[in-house]
Amino acid sequence: MWYVVDGMDGCGKSSAAEYIREHLKAKGRRVLLITHPNRDTKVGMKEAAWLLKEGKFAKIVATQYYIRDVLHSVRVMKKNKKTQEYDDVIFVRYIMAVSYVPKPLCRLAYGFFKLLLPEPDEKFFVDVTAETAMSRISSRGEEIESFENMEDLTKTMEKMHMFLGDNWKTVDNNGTPQETEAQIAGYLSEE
């Protein structure tokens, strides 16, 4: 199966994906987890570097690297379908990243990439308030990316919510880790 865990910066995508991975591994499944930006690839490293720069040009370049990064991961996932090295593949961040583009282009970009890119078997959207996300981002002790500020987080979350009717399983991650894990476990038990 192919799982996607998406949401805005600081929402807890990596933690949710890790819980899904551990849940699947406990069932004896072989799991590949790919996070975007994928710092194991040259394109992912360049993407990560451009995300730390300011200005519109930097955002455009970072977006272009992001698209290449995701396309590389899709190729890896398709290759895995042939080789069956893994039973399950999990992507952290996928199509919801279109929410980082200006609102007039957001719906168009989502529709375009939904046609272009393959559809995952399961899509998890990790939802938090912009305040919660910013608090988590600030406490990570990492360099702040250009999109990681209250104004951009608020706008991005608004745009992401436009797409939730598209078979996304929403996980409210404003509470405790145990509450989040319980929600994900509930979704996984439905499979």
Q: Would you say domain 2-179 falls under CATH 3.40.640.10?
A: no
Neighbours of 33 (CB within 10 A): 18
Question: In the numeric block, which tokens belong to residue 13?
Answer: 């995508």
Under 8 Å between Cβ of 98 and 113 = yes
What span, in angstroms and rounded, lies between the C-alpha atoms of 79 and 96? 23
CA atoms within 13 A on the CB side of 59: 13
The domain ranges of the chain are 2-179
Question: What is the pTM (predicted TM-score) of this model?
Answer: 0.91
191 residues of the chain, pLDDT tens digit each: 999 999 999 999 999 999 999 999 999 999 999 999 999 999 999 999 998 898 888 888 888 899 999 999 999 999 998 999 999 999 999 988 888 888 888 889 899 988 989 999 999 999 999 999 999 999 988 888 888 889 999 999 999 999 998 789 999 999 999 999 999 999 998 76
